[in-house]
Amino acid sequence: MLTKSLVLKKEFLTTVKETVTLEEALKVLEDSGFRCVPILDETGKIFRGNIYKMHIYRHKSQGGDMSLPVTYLLKNATKTIPVNAPFFKVFFNIKDLPYIAVLDEQANFYGILTHSKLLGMLSDSWNIDVGSYVLTVASSGERGDLALMSKILAKYVSISGCLTLDAKRGEYVRRTLFTLPAGTDAATLNEIVNKLEKKHFRVVEIDDLQSGQPVRSDEIE
CA end-to-end distance (rounded Å), the chain? 44
Q: How far apart are CA 137 and CA 196, in angstroms?
A: 8
CATH number at residue 12: 3.10.580.10
Nearest residue to 2 via CA among 77, 98, 70, 91: 91
User: Same domain for 110 and 147?
Assistant: no
Amino acid at 24: E
End-of-domain residue from the set 59, 93, 120: 120
User: Same domain for 64 and 132?
Assistant: no
Q: How far apart are CA 44 and CA 36, in angstroms?
A: 17
> Is 79 in a helix, a strand, or coil?
coil
Q: How far apart are CA 99 and CA 94, in angstroms?
A: 7
Q: Each residue's pLDDT tens digit in the chain (221 positions)? A: 556 788 999 999 999 999 999 999 999 999 999 999 999 999 999 999 999 999 999 999 999 999 999 999 999 999 999 998 887 778 778 878 899 999 999 999 999 999 888 877 776 666 666 678 999 999 988 899 999 999 999 999 999 888 888 755 555 688 999 999 989 999 999 999 999 999 999 999 998 887 767 775 544 44
Q: How far apart are CA 15 and CA 42, in angstroms?
A: 11
pTM reported for the whole predicted model: 0.70
Q: Is 15 left (phi over 0), alpha (psi -120 to 50) or beta?
A: beta
User: Same domain for 15 and 102?
Assistant: yes
User: Same domain for 90 and 29?
Assistant: yes
User: Same domain for 139 and 44?
Assistant: no
Q: How far apart are CA 133 and CA 178, in angstroms?
A: 8
Quick one: DSSP state of residue 76?
-
> Is 35 in a helix, a strand, or coil?
coil
Nearest residue to 54 via CA among 62, 43, 46, 45: 62
User: Same domain for 154 and 104?
Assistant: no
Query: Torsions phi, psi of 25, nearest 5?
Result: -65, -40
Domain range for 138: 126-219
> Is 169 in a helix, a strand, or coil?
coil
User: Same domain for 130 and 110?
Assistant: no
Q: How far apart are CA 34 and CA 85, in angstroms?
A: 26
- Determine contact, residues 109/143, Cβ cutoff 8 Å: no
User: Same domain for 100 and 55?
Assistant: yes
Q: How many domains does the chain have?
A: 2
Quick one: DSSP state of residue 172?
S
Q: What is the pLDDT of residue 220?
A: 44
User: Same domain for 101 and 131?
Assistant: no
End-of-domain residue from the set 80, 96, 120: 120
